[in-house]
Chain A
């Protein structure tokens, strides 16, 4: 553990500007991952209810043409 922690510390934490960059980058990555995950859960809960689920029925038909 300590053999791995030492190079990690030296790489990411030791210098303040790298640590700050690591924080910003990880926040960015976390938000993307969190949004993707929760959006997927949300779309699964609301399967078939949202516009994106029924859009295909109407989008190519032009104007006033049913189905």
Chain B
């Protein structure tokens, strides 16, 4: 009873609000007279308001939660490295082994005074950058611990091909102590271990400005490099023109040395790359031939099904009426 009266009252209110004087609902809904002329305007208003509210709430939500958050400032992220057209990163190109040889020379004469390359044995250089005799001669320049002898004492012996490249420091703590608390990272996998890979390391080596830009805050003992995350790097610029003398006569500019040592470090991180790319090409050749063959076999087998015609002969119509 109460519900019915409420229904009636709302209907009456609705009728009044519409400005209609029709007495029955049926007449009001079915008529298209001037009494309903205000309704589209009100609908437009309501629709516009709802749209505005929706857009506003979305904008507000985006303002609150939509922005990408950066934990660090751009200076702390470091400058993005420039992309360089490295030949050895192309799909069908091996390392340039002459460049690897030069890069190893740069590592040996420059980098190795602070950075270790502990995962590379001398034997890995044989057939890549050096001959057996050269690698043996380099290995013998270093001393390594022997196995304990009869008295249990460990002696020193000259290096062999199976020995790993010697590290400049005895351990990480000694390296930190010698470098003002900063640990020079091992370079064996450094190309894989840094965002930007070759581009980043090349930019880092060649990107030292002559003096830090105005306003840049450089801590005591650090050097400014825009490509290093945080811009303060403990390593100073080490590559200068004519620092090493290449045995093959290549002009030893800063960028040439950086390019060679980066390619060498890429080899150190991915010594299998040449073989991998070659096997990849062979695999692609075989599998594409097999794929073409399988497509042909499929079409061959499906030909009778695809080309058949299904005929329907309706039975003769017999009229009963």
Asked if A50 and B137 sit within 8 Å, CB to CB, the answer is: no
Instruction: Give the distance in Å from the alpha carbon of A35 to the alpha carbon of B281 in the complex.
Output: 11
Residue from A45, A50, A57, A58 in contact with B92 in the complex, judged by beta carbons closer than 8 Å: A45
What's the count of A-B pairs with C-beta under 8 Å?
Answer: 48
Asked if A55 and B131 sit within 8 Å, CB to CB, the answer is: yes
Asked if A63 and B128 sit within 8 Å, CB to CB, the answer is: no
* B85 close to chain A: CB less than 8 A: no
Instruction: Give the distance in Å from the alpha carbon of A11 to the alpha carbon of B172 in the complex.
Output: 71
Asked if A58 and B97 sit within 8 Å, CB to CB, the answer is: no
Instruction: Give the distance in Å from the alpha carbon of A34 to the alpha carbon of B281 in the complex.
Output: 12
Q: How far is the CB of B28 from chain A (nearest CB, A)?
A: 84
Asked if B127 and A38 sit within 8 Å, CB to CB, the answer is: no
Which residues of chain A have C-beta atoms less than 8 A from B274's C-beta?
50
Instruction: Give the distance in Å from the alpha carbon of A63 to the alpha carbon of B135 in the complex.
Output: 9
Which residues of chain B have C-beta atoms less than 8 A from A38's C-beta?
278, 281-282, 285
Instruction: Give the distance in Å from the alpha carbon of A66 to the alpha carbon of B286 in the complex.
Output: 43
Which residues of chain A have C-beta atoms less than 8 A from B98's C-beta?
49, 54
Instruction: Give the distance in Å from the alpha carbon of A53 to the alpha carbon of B131 in the complex.
Output: 13
* A46 close to chain B: CB less than 8 A: yes
Asked if A34 and B97 sit within 8 Å, CB to CB, the answer is: no
* B77 close to chain A: CB less than 8 A: no
Q: Name B132's closest neighbour in chain A (CB-CB).
A: A59
Which residues of chain A have C-beta atoms less than 8 A from B101's C-beta?
54
A20-42 interface with B by 8 A CB criterion: 34-35, 38-39, 42
How many residues of chain B have a CB within 8 Å of chain A?
24
Asked if B134 and A58 sit within 8 Å, CB to CB, the answer is: yes
Which residues of chain A have C-beta atoms less than 8 A from B137's C-beta?
63-64
Asked if B94 and A34 sit within 8 Å, CB to CB, the answer is: no
Asked if A46 and B93 sit within 8 Å, CB to CB, the answer is: yes
Residue from A35, A59, A66 in contact with B131 in the complex, judged by beta carbons closer than 8 Å: A59
Asked if B133 and A63 sit within 8 Å, CB to CB, the answer is: yes
* B96 close to chain A: CB less than 8 A: yes
Asked if A66 and B97 sit within 8 Å, CB to CB, the answer is: no
* B225 close to chain A: CB less than 8 A: no
With contact pairs A51-B127, A51-B128 given, residues A45 and B93 touching in the complex (Cβ less than 8 Å): yes
Q: How far is the CB of A16 from chain B (nearest CB, A)?
A: 23
With contact pairs A38-B285, A42-B278, A51-B129 given, residues A63 and B134 touching in the complex (Cβ less than 8 Å): yes
Q: How far is the CB of B96 from chain A (nearest CB, A)?
A: 5
The 8 A CB mask of B109-131 against A (1 = contact, 0 = none) is: 00000000000000000011111
Which residues of chain A have C-beta atoms less than 8 A from B68's C-beta?
none
Asked if A54 and B97 sit within 8 Å, CB to CB, the answer is: yes
A sample of 14 cross-chain residue pairs with beta-carbon separation below 8 angstroms, ordered by A number, consists of: A34-B285, A39-B278, A42-B92, A46-B92, A46-B93, A50-B94, A50-B97, A53-B97, A54-B97, A54-B98, A57-B248, A58-B130, A64-B137, A66-B247
Beyond the given A49-B95, A54-B101, could you list 14 further A-B residue pairs with CB under 8 A, ordered by the A residue number? Answer: A34-B285, A38-B281, A39-B278, A42-B92, A46-B93, A49-B93, A49-B94, A51-B97, A54-B98, A58-B131, A58-B134, A59-B131, A63-B133, A63-B137
